[in-house]
Amino acid sequence: MNPKSLKQKARCKQILKVTVQAQSCGPMVLEISYLQQSKTRMSLLRDSANRVQHFANLGQIYQLCRKVGIHQAELCQTIAHAEAMACTDNSSLKTCIPLQF
């Protein structure tokens, strides 16, 4: 999904949920859940070259969401256990925080 179609879906009230996915110290991506032909779909936000759009900080995401008419999202951060605590397994810790714009 590109920003233009995100704006159209937001205007038509088809957006169900916007999730900001943050992986440890890497860039953030937007995951959008929306209705299409009465079915729930999920897509990452992509640029004009159809590459997944990455964001360096929440300020960039805030500007984009406000521009297209989205006023709430959920920030989900995944932190590898090795970073969070000394642990021998490969599991990770995921926390989610609601955001209001």
pLDDT digits (tens, 9 = 90+) for 8-24: 999 999 999 999 999 87
Helical axes 58-68 vs 3-11, angle rounded to 10°: 50
Q: What is the pLDDT of residues 18-77, one digit of tens each?
A: 999 998 778 999 999 999 999 999 999 999 899 999 999 999 999 999 999 999 999 998
CB of 65 within 8 A of CB of 9? no
Domain count, the chain: 1
- Specify the DSSP class assigned to residue 52: B
Distance CA 44, CA 48 (A): 13
Residues of the domain holding 55 = 3-100
β-partners of residue 32 are 18, 43
Prediction pTM value: 0.80
